[in-house]
Amino acid sequence: MTTRRDLPESPYLAAVTGRKPGRLPVWFMRQAGRSLPEYRALRAQTDMLSACFDAELVCEITLQPVRRHDVDAAILFSDIVVPLLGAGVDLDIVAGVGPVIASPVRTAADVDAMKPLDRQRIQPVADAVTLLVAALGGVPLIGFAGAPFTLASYLIEGGPSRHHARTKAMMLADPGSWHALLEKLTDITVGFLRAQLDAGVDAIQVFDSWAGALSLADYRAYVQPHSARVFGALAEHGVPMTHFGVGTAELLGAMSAVGATVVGVDWRTSLADAATRVAPGTALQGNLDPVVLMAGWPAVERAARAVVDDGRRAVDAGARGHVFNLGHGVLPDTDPGVLTDLVSLVHSL
C-alpha cells in the first residue's frame, strides 16, 4: 500500500473526514482550465490529449490555480476520456464538440472487442501525480476518473449527447450487453484511479456527469452496482472518495450508498436538503451555480454567503462536513479575478 503524505493542517481533508477545519475549504471543478490566461498560453502549444499525456505539463497546469487562487485542493488535470485511450479506444477531442469516438460501441460484438486498460499507456498520468505530490506542499491532490455510466454514454453515443438516447436504448433493450460493457468500464475506471492512488493522490473524485439523465429506478438497476464496485475496490486505500453528477437530486441517496464519503451537489438542490437524502456520515461538496460568477461581484458575494449558510445548515442536519465548490465546472469565460476574490471571501466566513 502506498504511503501517503500526512496533511493534518489541510482544511479539505479535515472537512471530508469529520474533523473541524481551520477554515471552510474551497476548490473548483475545472479550476485548471480555460478561465486562466496562463493555461491558454500553454495549451496554445499543444492539443488537449497530448497535454494530458505530458507529465510535466499536467503538473504545471494542475498547479496554476493553486498558485493563483489559494484553493484548498488541487485536482489532477486530465480528461474524462483519458482512461478510454489507455484501453485502446480510438478517439479525439474536437474543439467546440468534445470527445468524439471513431467507432461507437453499440453491439454485443463491439462490447466483446473492448480491451482492458494498459497501465503502461497511462504511466504519464502516474508520473504527473508523483511530480505534483512533491510540488504541492501541504495542499492535497485529488485524482479523478469518469464513472462507468458516463464513459459508456460517450462510447455508445459517439460523443457528447443531450438526451443519451442510444445509451438508454441499449441499456433497456440489451441488458446483457449493457452490463458486460459496464463491467469492462468498471475495471478500466478502477485501474485508472488505482494508478493515481499508487502514485500518491490524497483523495479521488468520480464524475458521473450524465447520471442525471436517469430515473432513480434505472440508476439502481443498471448503474449503481457498477459504481459500487468502483468505490468498493478502492476503499482499501483509505482516502476520501467523492461522487458527483449533474441534475442528480433524486439520485443523491443512491449515489452516496455506493460507498462515497463525499457527495457533490449541483445548484438545483440545497445542501440542507441534500443532507437529508444522502447516507448518514456523508460530507457534501458544492454548490454555487457557475453562471453566478459572471453576474458581477454583488451577486457573487450574496450567492456565496448563501451557500456557506446552507452548508452550515447541512452539517446541522447531519452532513459530516462541507467543502465549498461550484455545482459544476468553471465556465471558460469566467474572470479568474472573481475566483480569487471568491476564495478569499469563503475563507473569511
Catalytic residue among 43, 121, 166, 313: 43
Give the tens place of pLDDT for each residue, 207-228: 999 999 999 999 999 999 999 9
Q: Tell me yes or no: is domain 11-348 CATH 3.30.450.20.
A: no
Q: Is it the case that residue 192 has pLDDT exceeding 90? A: yes
Catalytic residue among 12, 39, 68, 154: 154
Q: Nearest CA to 75 among 65, 85, 89?
A: 65
60: alpha, beta or left, given left = phi > 0 and alpha = psi -120 to 50? alpha
Q: State the pLDDT at residue 223.
A: 98
- Known active-site residue 119: no
- Known active-site residue 43: yes
| Contact predicate 86/117, CB 8 Å | yes
Residue type at position 244? F
Q: State the pLDDT at residue 141.
A: 98
| Contact predicate 30/293, CB 8 Å | no
- Known active-site residue 154: yes
- Known active-site residue 121: no
Q: Is it the case that residue 318 has pLDDT exceeding 70? A: yes
Give the tens place of pLDDT for each residue, 278-296: 999 999 999 999 999 999 9
Q: State the pLDDT at residue 93.
A: 87
**Angle of helix 165-173 relative to helix 175-199, nearest 10 degrees?**
120
| Contact predicate 346/338, CB 8 Å | no
Give the tens place of pLDDT for each residue, 104-158: 999 999 999 999 999 999 999 999 999 999 999 999 999 999 999 999 999 999 9
pLDDT category at 2 given cuts 50, 70, 90 is confident
Give the tens place of pLDDT for each residue, 48-87: 999 999 999 999 999 999 999 999 999 999 999 999 999 9
| DSSP annotation string for 62-87 | HHHHHHHH--S-EE----TTHHHHHT
| Contact predicate 7/13, CB 8 Å | yes
Give the tens place of pLDDT for each residue, 232-287: 999 999 999 999 999 999 999 999 999 999 999 999 999 999 999 999 999 999 99
Beta strands in the chain (DSSP E): 74-75, 91-94, 98-101, 141-146, 203-207, 241-244, 262-264, 283-288, 322-326
**Rg of the chain in Å (alpha carbons):** 19
Q: State the pLDDT at residue 45.
A: 87
C-alpha distances (whole Å) from 21 to each of 11, 25, 31, 87, 142 are 5, 8, 21, 39, 18
Q: State the pLDDT at residue 1.
A: 60
Catalytic residue among 12, 30, 106, 187: 30
Question: Which residues, 6 or more positions from 121, have their beta carbon under 8 angstroms from its beta carbon?
Answer: 85, 86, 88
- Known active-site residue 302: no
Catalytic residue among 79, 187, 208, 310: 79
Q: State the pLDDT at residue 248.
A: 96
Question: Which residues, 6 or more positions from 96, have their beta carbon under 8 angstroms from its beta carbon?
Answer: none
Q: Is it the case that residue 96 has pLDDT exceeding 90? A: no
pLDDT category at 160 given cuts 50, 70, 90 is confident
The 10 Å Cβ neighbour count of residue 234 is 22
Catalytic residue among 34, 119, 166, 313: 34
pTM of this prediction?
0.96
Q: Which residues pair with 323 in a beta bridge?
A: 285
Q: State the pLDDT at residue 68.
A: 96
